[in-house]
């Protein structure tokens, strides 16, 4: 069967397009944008030198310590967070950050201080945190009585917290931690975002800590 000039031209250009697509396919496979299937937020702590090494542990009453709290947003949009600062002893309830997000829960302890922050998508924010503790050794039992926590120059009352001596770790340990809460535009409220980070701290005893 004879083809017309128009049909020959159509066949020719169709072949050219197919060859061009085949030649470009390796490049296209590298440049195609695949839909994201995972959205999350990173939360971390760095030491005073912005490293993950020299975290404060042995705490002296009245001395100021510095850390950096970091947040990275991988949610696909700008996010409005609140960081709830909390402190607990060895027996008080801790938050959870494992399992499905709907099953994770914050600590029921009240927030001592809320820190609000906006983070653009795929951006990171570092928040400098300075803190110091005032505490005494209880005269009638081997316990540390917390009096106050100064965080970023704000004096916070935590006098309802007692820290018992841990014979295994040989320390009076308390946990300073930071829960991440995310604003939900649908409910017009903040919800626990399923992650937290913190530091175990040993309240050291010297003659200055005695009444």
pLDDT digits (tens, 9 = 90+) for 157-169: 998 899 999 999 9
Full-model pTM: 0.80
pLDDT for res 31: 45
Do 95 and 170 have their domain in common? yes
Do 134 and 177 have their domain in common? yes
Do 47 and 29 have their domain in common? no
Query: Mean pLDDT, the chain, as a whole number?
Result: 86
Do 59 and 115 have their domain in common? yes
User: What is the percent of the chain with per-residue pLDDT over 90, rounded to a whole number?
Assistant: 71
Do 137 and 179 have their domain in common? yes
Rounded CA gap, 88 and 134, in Å? 15
Rounded CA gap, 80 and 51, in Å? 26
Write out the two tokens for 101: 């997000």
Rounded CA gap, 205 and 8, in Å? 94
Listed in sequence order, the residues at least 6 apart from 166 whose beta carbon sits closer than 8 Å to its beta carbon are 90, 172, 173
- The whole domain housing 15 covers 1-34
Q: pLDDT tens across 170-202, in order? A: 999 999 999 999 999 999 999 999 999 999 999
Do 133 and 183 have their domain in common? yes
């Amino acid at each position: 069967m004879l083809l017309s000039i128009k049909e020959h031209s159509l066949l020719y250009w169709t072949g050219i397009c197919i060859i061009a697509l085949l030649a470009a396919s390796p490049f296209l496979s590298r440049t195609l944008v695949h839909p994201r299937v995972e959205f999350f937020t990173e939360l971390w702590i760095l030491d005073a030198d912005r490293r993950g090494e020299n975290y404060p542990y042995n705490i002296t009453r009245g001395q100021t310590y510095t850390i950096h709290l970091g947040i990275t947003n991988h949610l696909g949009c700008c996010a409005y967070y609140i960081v709830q600062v909390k402190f607990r002893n060895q027996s008080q309830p801790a938050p959870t950050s494992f399992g499905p997000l709907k099953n994770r829960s914050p600590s029921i302890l009240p927030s001592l201080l809320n820190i609000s922050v906006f983070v653009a998508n795929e951006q990171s924010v570092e928040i400098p945190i300075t803190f110091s503790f005032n505490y005494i050794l209880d005269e009638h039992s081997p316990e540390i009585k917390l009096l106050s926590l100064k965080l970023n120059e704000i004096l916070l009352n935590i006098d309802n917290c007692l820290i018992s001596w841990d014979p295994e770790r040989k320390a009076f340990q308390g946990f300073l931690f930071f829960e991440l809460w995310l604003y939900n535009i649908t409910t017009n409220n903040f919800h626990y975002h399923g992650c937290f980070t913190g530091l175990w701290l040993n309240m050291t005893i010297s003659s200055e800590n005695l009444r």
